[in-house]
Amino acid sequence: MSLNLVFWIFGVVAMVSALLCITRKNPVSSALWLVVTLFAVAALFVLLDAQFLAVLQVLVYAGAIMVLFLFVIMLLNLGRPGPSDIKGPVAVGGGVLLAGALLFLLRPLSQVTLSSTITLPPGSVPALQLRQGIVGAVANPLFGTYLIPFEIASVLLLAAIVGAVVLAKRKL
């Protein structure tokens, strides 16, 4: 099987499960279809030479974040059958129309060609990963060029921890 065919298979899985995610009326099945999408996107990451990010995607998104979502859904007891939360036909029609317009605007993305002055020669990312290791290829710029954004991200996560505790606790 060619790489392109495998890529499209995972891409179609991602798109179909994303569609199911936004159309299921039960939030639990929505969340589980989103997990399928995230796994398919992780597979696409592997095919695009980003193996470390694929592992992170499974660990952080499909693992931690989706467990948080499912935990809140269970905590609020939203999984029971009830009236659908999908808006009326007018709102759905408007939403589909606006989404179609957005897709039309994003259509040129699939025909984009990068100029040869900014592109690397093909195969240079796998060569870099062979030289520095798959983690090292991401870690070296992360702890070099992008050190200050990295530290700011750690402060952001600390603020998020404190904020989440303050918001979720009834009384401090």
Partner 1 sequence: MLLSPALAISAVLFTLGVAGVLFRRNAIVIFMCVELMLNAVNLTFVALAQNIGVGGQVFVFFVMAVAAAEAAVGLAIILAVYRHKQSVSLQNMNLLRDG
Q: For residue 37, with 0-12 CB atoms within 10 Å meaning exposed, 13-18 middle and 19 or more buried, which class applies?
A: buried
Count residues binding partner 1 (CB under 8 A): 84
Closest separation in Å from C-beta 139 to partner 1: 9
Determine which residue in the list 1, 80, 81, 109 makes contact with partner 1, applying CB under 8 A: 109
- Residue 9 touching partner 1 (CB under 8 A): no
Closest separation in Å from C-beta 130 to partner 1: 13
| Residues between 33 and 52 that touch partner 1 (CB under 8 A) | 34, 37-38, 41, 44-45, 47-50, 52
Q: For residue 148, with 0-12 CB atoms within 10 Å meaning exposed, 13-18 middle and 19 or more buried, which class applies?
A: exposed
- Residue 170 touching partner 1 (CB under 8 A): yes
Determine which residue in the list 36, 55, 58, 142 makes contact with partner 1, applying CB under 8 A: 142
- Residue 133 touching partner 1 (CB under 8 A): no
Closest separation in Å from C-beta 45 to partner 1: 5
Say if CB 40 and CB 17 are below 8 A apart. yes
User: What Rg value do the Cα atoms of the chain yield, rounded?
Assistant: 21
Report the alpha-carbon distance of residue 16 to residue 1 in Å, rounded: 21
Residue with tokens 């690397």: 120
CB atoms near residue 42 (< 10 Å): 22
CB atoms near residue 28 (< 10 Å): 15
Say if CB 21 and CB 34 are below 8 A apart. yes
Determine which residue in the list 1, 58, 111, 131 makes contact with partner 1, applying CB under 8 A: 111
| Residues between 61 and 80 that touch partner 1 (CB under 8 A) | 61, 64-65, 68-69, 72-73, 75-76, 78
Determine which residue in the list 9, 74, 127, 157 makes contact with partner 1, applying CB under 8 A: 157
- Residue 30 touching partner 1 (CB under 8 A): yes
